Copies of this chain bind each other. A is one copy, B any other.
């Protein structure tokens, strides 16, 4: 006994912070209050969004935990947590974002399927663990260009997998690349990983949709082609607006991996009252997939007629984008801009440009898709301006 397992009931869920915005209780899906999200570059674990597909797995004795490395590997392995801790520890600051972040806004165009996330289905953390490529090398795998994938399996019980565990895969080339910084994390923000985030071990695939960073990991398998699980083949793919449930061909599209540039406004919030003549600080985050940094954040307070550049930062006051020693390329930037308010109507709009000059679509309808993934359209927040003498 004592091995990690996915329970069938929700009797043994961990404690959660009451300030979380809960989208579903069983399985537990919740996001951070937007204004709390921009309070710190590193998101506290208890406020970090929770995305689950079943009850949280349980382990009675972590000393009995084993990670199996198998499949197309010269030397299959079974590793304990201590074996993993004995490997060189690598830390990476990475923002994980659910592919469904901002789905609620997409569903206003036309109905979409999925958890109704607002703008906080993401977080930024410092992950610590063993490098995936070190572990694969231990199993005798050598860097090679091929169509092989590395499949990660959990132990949770997902109805989407007919009671089987959550699975996902990434290309072997990415798994073996030191620059991709894929790790098997046993730490989050310098502390032991907690149950909601994958205790005792999870994958962290920086710059890729959260769905591939499999939690409660028990098996790593090198396979001939990409994983055939539900979440790779029949879920996280992006279709054009013309495809709906009556004409979908899942095989026509590839599984989503790295994500496009995203830039919501976290403060103020829609409908906030603000005083004419006062100063207002506008804050948000911007992030792009694939390690592409954020080149620019443009903010408008007149609905997009005129724009000003916001100030970007990471843990330092400044975002040192061109200095790889200081820039965290897999992490978001937080941004802010202080504006003086007139009594004109206020519509705040934000959009970012990433390091490859990728931009965001102005209108959500051009990227509408039936699964409601990757809503990266310009974020708009309408405020109510009241006269200077009003009491707020």
Contact = CB atoms under 8 A, between A and B. Distances in A.
A307 B179 contact: no
A346 interface: no
Determine how many copies of this chain the complex contains. 2
Contacts of A306: 242
A236 to B, nearest CB: 11
Contact of A290 (B290, B321, B359): B290
Interface string A352-386: 01011111011100110000001010000000000
Given A322-B147, A366-B362, A307 B353 contact: no
A347 interface: no
Contact of A254 (B177, B322, B359): B322
A322 to B, nearest CB: 5
Nearest to A174: B179
A259 B355 CA distance: 9
Contacts of A307: 240-242
A294 B201 CA distance: 34
A324 B366 contact: no
A143 to B, nearest CB: 8
Interface in A279-321: 289-290, 292, 295-296, 298, 306-307, 309, 321
A253 interface: yes
Contacts of A37: none
Nearest to A243: B309
Given A357-B260, A374-B357, A324 B177 contact: no
A259 B354 CA distance: 10
A259 B357 contact: yes
A146 B325 contact: yes
A257 interface: yes
A358 B260 contact: yes
Interface string A216-229: 00000000001000
A46 interface: no
Interface string A253-264: 110111111000
A162 interface: no
A353 B238 contact: yes
A296 B356 contact: no
Contact of A356 (B177, B260, B309, B357): B260
A238 B178 CA distance: 30
Contacts of A292: 258, 290
A323 interface: yes
Contacts of A358: 260-261, 356, 358
A324 B177 CA distance: 15
B240 A296 contact: yes
Interface in A34-63: none
A238 to B, nearest CB: 5
A288 to B, nearest CB: 8
Interface string A237-280: 01011100000000001101111110000000000000000000
7 contacts: A145-B324, A146-B324, A258-B292, A260-B357, A356-B358, A358-B358, A361-B362
Interface of A: 143, 145-147, 171, 173, 177-179, 226, 238, 240-242, 253-254, 256-261, 289-290, 292, 295-296, 298, 306-307, 309, 321-325, 353, 355-359, 361-363, 366-367, 374, 376
